[in-house]
Amino acid sequence: MANYLVTGAAGFIGFHLCKRLLDDGNSVVGIDNLNSYYDVSLKLARLNILQQFSNFNFYKTEIADLPGMEAIFSGHSNLSFDVVINLAAQPGVRYSLKNPHSYISSNIVGFTNILECCRHNNVKHLVFASSSSIYGMNKKIPFSVSDNVDHPVSLYAASKKANELMAHTYAHLYGLPCTGLRFFTAYGPWGRPDMAYFSFTKGIMEGTPIDVFNFGKMKRDFTYIDDVSTAIETIIGKPAQGDKQAGMPPHAIYNLGNSRPNTVLELVAAIEKATGRTAERILAPTQPGDVTVTFADHARATAAFGFAPKTGLEEGIANFVAWRAGS
């Protein structure tokens, strides 16, 4: 069994990953600031499940707090973390238009602290969250990790691009194996209320109108949470190797997407089918920072660790609606 540190442990992806690792008998230290970006009660409900495991320890702290992070790493020096999975971040595209400083604090300062703590504590592998938002208005589809991503259209996307570059630098300078994961619209039970599928389901179940931006024409590569957490669990045991002779540091980037994008109207239809109710749609123009389509080319992930998403949108949404109805 291994020892893991997971930041953003009370978040959507973090919760699912922690539970998998704990179910397998691993020791997990979780960090989360439990901020109010969305309903804290949902984060606490996730955390309550994790705290039922004797092999789970939790710290409420900010990753931007360097002394606090150093204390956590030094306090567990008798264990030492085999792998650190950094899922803590300020998410959201539209929110970055209103609160840019929160993205700098968590996604830039916080990630720097993670990198420093990893290099000074002999962490064997750092896995970190990137995002499909990094592709911006890329016209070439599907999106490949070899594509140029120098034109982000939101501060959130820019911060994730910065994370990838920072990790590459630490891999180069200090030999720290780093793996970045570009998540493509992860969804499912215990998901984030700020995401469209969650708010759509809430509106449809309550009989209130839903705002459908870009008149429903936007496409998203919806990726079910079980497929995402399975991939992460596999990746953490396969750190990037690099090639010193070729000047390649131990740094890798992967797309984690379903590679089957659906329109927002198809998402609405899936929710209607799962709930047995009809949505009242308010069609609206595109919002600033939104991208028209996300579409993952996950060939590199498939070749490296057999990534093969299994869950289609209708099945995943049905699972989410069932959870939402019972929550």
Active site amino acids:
156
**Bridge pairing between strands 219-220 and 262-263:** antiparallel
From CA 81, how far away is CA 6, in angstroms rounded?
A: 10
Q: How far is CA 67 from CA 64, 88, 244, in A?
A: 9, 17, 33
In contact, 215 and 167? CB cutoff 8 Å? no
Q: How far is CA 279 from CA 52, 195, 218, in A?
A: 38, 17, 17
CA angle 203, 204, 207 (to 5 degrees): 80
From CA 200, how far away is CA 267, in angstroms rounded?
A: 9
